[in-house]
Structure 1
Amino acid sequence: MARRRTARKVMPVTPVRTTIESMTHDGRGVAHVDGKAVFIDEGLPGEELEFVYTDIRKDYAEGRVVNLLSRSEFRVDAECPHYSMCGGCSFQHVDSAKQIQIKQELLEEQFKRIGKLDIPQVWEALDGPHWGYRRKARMGVKYVAKKGRVLVGFREKRQPYLAEIESCKVMHPRVGMNLMVLSEMIGGLTIKDKIPQIEVAIGDDDCVLSIRVMEPPTQEDKERMRQFAHQLGMSICLQPKGPDTIVPIDGEPEVMPTYALPEHDIVFKFRPAMFTQVNYEINRLMVNRVIEALHLTQDDHVLDLFCGLGNFTLPMARRAGHVTGIEGDLPLIK
């Protein structure tokens, strides 16, 4: 029996006027229209605006701004030309200092509302580079015949489709500024339509791209990828199945990216799919703050749960008498 198609909901096209009351964790403004919460892309608290609906549900609705009637003092023009469409970022329309304040307030509110915890004192938020900092990412890949090109990047805002972007200002420049040449390289492969994603892992010095391949590449494909990697000073690996199948292209050495905690004389090695913090500058500040706050001595025994590859465990072990790290991912422990 044929399945009955669900009629597509037609959204009202007449703009609706409202005032933004607060913000969500993903950068949307919250308003109430006729008693229903509406989550509006790029709306800021205090702004009066006109929006159109993009989705209407029983308990809430979603919308996008079509006309700003008043402008928040914290609103800035997004530096990325793809911001309004790409779903990789959600706060570029907010002043960088205000972004941190908003996120801290959201976290405190969640502790109170969900955890029933009142935090008497909050440390000053750590701050670091706002551009070019992201060193780990999983980027989507899609060959679009109608466009005659391969799209590489992130999905559109609240859409399943890959955004058509040429660069990413948040990604480390070694990858973020080379999306088009990466797209062109993949577009010349015989398996260009059999590649769904790329795992990006950038260490202090090395950059590894792990390309998920649904079919084996030809020797010509491998040579094309090899030449591309050599030209850009990267390493390319192939991933035929799960993360544990990631291997270098035939004849190429396995590159293990590293990141250092210089103040603690520690250098971490990790494989491309392993979890590490995406922002190395902030990570170093986090580790230093933890060490400073704990005042560890040789009499201390520390339990580090979900310790990963020891990002906090090993620096603490430089000072404490004993540190036990607990982690369920065996490769990270090894």
Structure 2
Amino acid sequence: MAKVVALVDRDAREGTVRRSACALLTLARRLGEPVAVCPARPDEETIGVLGRHGATEIWCPDSSAISLPGQRGPSESVTGTETDLLVAVARHLDPAAILIAATHRGQEAAARLAIRLDSGIITDAVDIRPGPIAVQRCLADSHLVESTVVRGTPIITVRPEAAVPEPSPAVPAVRTIAVEPSRTRAPRIVATPKPRAAAPALDHADIVVAGGRGLGSRAAFAVLADVAEALGAALAGSHTAAELGWIPPEARVGLTGKTVNPRLYLACGVSGSVRHRAGMQGAKTVVAIGDDPAAPIFKLAELGVVGDARAILPALLEEIRARIPIT
């Protein structure tokens, strides 16, 4: 049976295997024998989680160091990246496909891997069928298309919440492989906004607080960030908010940004264009605040507040802090 590689993504805050990695192993079982690839040697808990979801083998570098994008330093010549590890495993196993979660980092790793292996790539799949055939959404999620790779090893990135992890117990063998670092220097982040404490990843957040052009200024967006922090939510924004520099590009929600499926989506000053709705229409509950009652976002909202978000947000923040005391 052909092997199917799934890259394991871990929660940086909790050190646990992300749900998306278990979902990838579930999808991999449809195509062949699932093989997990870990950037570092797995502990017993990780081996147990991956084994419960069908991994028959777990591959990791024969050294414990795999750097993430933007984290290379003076030791670049002796440290590999996730892409370097996947290249080594792919050349050794010749897998039927390589599956990677469609996160910001995963998309970058997949693109670099496709170049290194001279292979085709399909991004943002919502389902995978034998072939392998990748199913994608297009035109603001209104249509489904099926795609296949016709060159090299199929590389497919899958939306984190596209599949439900299903147990299939196995006893995985842990194997190591020598990783040769690429001669191409990985980009380094020179400056980045200071992250707020314990902010959840946008892809996996239960609550998302988003702002748009209607907030009017960077200062108003700072108040929105305080609201997100008070709720323990991820901060996001519209395409226009990203263009104006009020949020980083990776926090943009929409057709050309992130797709989110939170339990609560709080939209402030967001008009709700087609491309923005494509990224958040899977939210369970939508609450909208804005001064235009005809804005499309109100058609999606279970609760709409018509008014100036810049005046409403400070009062909302005060009420949230009164009900959820800061510890």
Structure 1 or 2: larger helix share?
Answer: 2
Superposition TM-score, scaled by structure 1 size: 0.28
* Higher-Rg member (1/2): 1
Using CA pairs under 8 Å that are at least 6 residues apart, name the structure with larger relative contact order, 1 or 2.
Answer: 2
Under a length normalisation based on structure 2, what TM-score does the superposition of the two structures give?
0.28
